Chain A
Amino acid sequence: MNIPIITPIQSTTLETKDVKTITFAHPAPVIPGQFYMIWIPGVDEIPMSVSRITLKTKAITFRDVGDATHQLFQLNAGSHIGIRGPYGNGFTIAGKHLLFVGGGTGIAMLAPAIEHARKQKVKTTVIIGVKTHQELFFEQHMKRTGATVYVTTDDGSYGEKGFASDLAATVLKKEHIDAVYTCGPELMMKTLHKLCKHIRFQASLERYMKCAMGLCGQCCVGDGLRVCVDGPIFDGTTLQKITDFGKYHRDAAGRKIMYK
C-alpha cells in the first residue's frame, strides 16, 4: 500500500513570519535529503523534504508560497495531515570537512544532514543565504550543532552582504573542502556546481511532482531521471549530464519554464 496515512500534527513552530515547521509522529527511518508527500485533504498533496529527524518524530519546514502551503501554514497542533513516504534517495554524507550551502528555505532540508555530519564529529561549515535578515531561520539551530555558520543577505541587513555562492567560492579557496551539499534556487546551485568540478558535489533538485512513485514522468530531468525516485539528490557527475539543470523546469502541463 502506498497511500497517505492521516496523522495528527504534534507541534508547530513559526520560524519567520512566513516559514513554519510542522512536527508529526513518524517512527520510520529517514535519510537526510529524503522527502514526504504531505496530503492536505481537499486541497492538494505536495512533496516536502524532511527538516528534523528523531527516532519517533519527523518534521517539515516550509514557506507559505502557494495554495497548498498556504493551507498547510494555517494548521496547528492537533490538526490532521496525510503522510506518505519517505521517498527519494537522500544525501551520501562522507568526508573530513563538509560545506553546506542553503539558499532561501534550502537550509531546512540540509539541517538533518548537517546534524548527522556533526554527530559523526565531521568538521562542518554552513552558509545560509537569504534575501534579508527577516527571512533568516535555523541559524542558532545550526550553530548548536557545532558547525561553523555564515549568513549572507542580498541586502546586507545581516551577516555578509552578497550571495551564498560568492561566500562559498571564498570558503572553497581558503579551506580544503571534501564535499559540498546544496539546496536552494537552481541558478545558485548551478553556480556552485561550476565551482565544484573537482570536489564531490550533491544538490537537491525541485521539480513539479505528481505521482512520487516514478511512474508519471512529470518530474523527469535529463535523460529520464525521475527526481522523485532517482533523486531528489543528484551528484556533480550526473548533473553534468542533465542539460536542463539550471536552464528550465516544467509546469503541471509539462511545458518548459526557463529559469531567469
Chain B
Amino acid sequence: MVDISTTIGSLRIKNPTMLASGIMDEDAGSMHRMIRSGAGAIVTKSIGLHAREGYPNPTVLELEYGLLNAMGLPNPGIDAYEDELQLLKKSRVPIIGSIYGATPDEFARLADTMQHCGAAAVELNVSCPHAKHYGMEVGCDTQLLYKIVTAVTEQVTIPVFVKISPNVTNIVEIASAAEQGNADAIVAINTVKAMKIDLETRQPILANKTGGYSGRAIKPIGVRCIYDLAQHIKLPLIGVGGITTGQDAVEYFMAGASAVQLGSAVYYRGPDVFRAVCTELKDWMSAHGYTNVSQLVGAALP
C-alpha cells in the first residue's frame, strides 16, 4: 500500500501536490475547483495590503519550452480577500496564504490577517521577479529578508514558508537568512527572470517587458536549487518549477523536497493535473517498491 501523504514541519497534507501561488486562486470559487481537482494544499494569490491591478496585457505567453508571465501581483487587497477566505473556512485541504509587502511591518500585518482568516500557513513572496519594490527586490537583500521573516514568525503561530528566487548568485545564502529568522520551510523556486521579443515590431511582447519563466524548461534549475538547499539548510523544502508529471515530483523528492507545487502544469494538463500526478506518483512508487514519500526525500543527496 503506497502512502503519498507528507509533512512539511507540523503541517500534514494528504498528498504532496500543492497549487502554486498565482494560478486559479484569486477567488474562492477557483480555489474550490482546484481542491476538487485533487490539490493537497492551496497557496493563494499573493495578497498585499492594498488592491493592485497588475500590468496590462499581454501578461502570459507560451514559449517553446515554458511559460513566460508578468502579471504584476494583481490582487484585491487583504480586506477584500478576507471575504474569499471566509468561504474556504470549511475546506478539507489546508489553505496557505501567500503575501507580499515592502517592509517587515507590512508582512507581519498581512500574516496576522491570514492567520485570523484560517490560513494553515503563510508563504512569503520574496521572489516575484517583475514587481518594483516587492518580491525579489526584498528577497535578495539578506538583512531585510531576515527582518521580514523574524517579524512574521514573531507575529503568528502558524508555520511560515519563504518562497525564494533562483535569480541570485547564492540561493543558500538567501535561504539561510530565512532559516535564521525562524522560517518553517523554504519554497523554491519562483520563476526565472526572462524576456521574449517580437521580431516584427522589435519590442518585448510582455507589457512589462520582462517576466518570469516557468514550466518544464526550468525544472532542472529548480531541482538543482533544491539539491543545493538540502545540503545546507535544515528546514523542510517544497519544490516548485516545471513539475508536470509524477516522475517530475519524484525527481524533486530525491533532490530533497518534502512536497511540490504545480502551476504551469495546470496549463499543460488542465486543472485535473493534481489527480493525474498523484496517480503517476503512486504507480511509480509501487513499481519501485516504495511505500512512503519520506523514503524518497533526499535519496539523491550525497
User: Taking beta carbons and an 8 Å cutoff, which residues of A are in contact with B?
Assistant: 1-4, 6, 37, 39, 41-46, 80, 82, 210-218, 220-226, 250-256
Q: Which of B58, B59, B62 contacts A1 (CB 8 A)?
A: B62
Q: Which residue of B lies closest to A229 (CB)?
A: B270
**Which range holds the interface residue count of chain B?**
35 or more
B242 → chain A closest CB, angstroms: 15
- CB of B59 within 8 A of CB of A216, answer yes
- CB of B29 within 8 A of CB of A220, answer yes
Chain B residues closer than 8 Å to A250, beta-carbon distance: 26-27, 76
Interface residues of B in 31-87 (CB under 8 A from A): 31-34, 36, 45, 51-54, 56-64, 67, 69, 71, 74-77, 80
A62 → chain B closest CB, angstroms: 15
A69 → chain B closest CB, angstroms: 13
Whole-angstrom distance between the alpha carbons of A44 and B33 in the complex? 29
- CB of B45 within 8 A of CB of A253, answer no
- CB of A217 within 8 A of CB of B25, answer yes
Whole-angstrom distance between the alpha carbons of A37 and B59 in the complex? 12
Q: Which residue of A lies closest to B24 (CB)?
A: A217
- CB of A252 within 8 A of CB of B33, answer no
B89 → chain A closest CB, angstroms: 16
- CB of B24 within 8 A of CB of A215, answer yes
Chain B residues closer than 8 Å to A212, beta-carbon distance: 60
Verify if B207 is at the interface (C-beta below 8 Å from A): yes
B30 → chain A closest CB, angstroms: 4
Kindly list 13 other residue pairs between chains A and B, CB separation below 8 angstroms, not including A210-B60, A215-B24, A253-B77: A3-B61, A45-B56, A45-B57, A213-B267, A214-B266, A215-B264, A216-B60, A220-B24, A221-B29, A252-B53, A253-B54, A254-B76, A256-B80
- CB of A222 within 8 A of CB of B266, answer no
Query: Can you list 21 contacts pairing A with B, beta carbon distance less than 8 Å?
Result: A1-B62, A6-B200, A37-B58, A42-B203, A45-B57, A214-B266, A216-B24, A217-B25, A217-B45, A220-B27, A220-B29, A224-B24, A224-B31, A250-B27, A252-B53, A253-B53, A253-B74, A254-B74, A254-B76, A255-B76, A255-B77
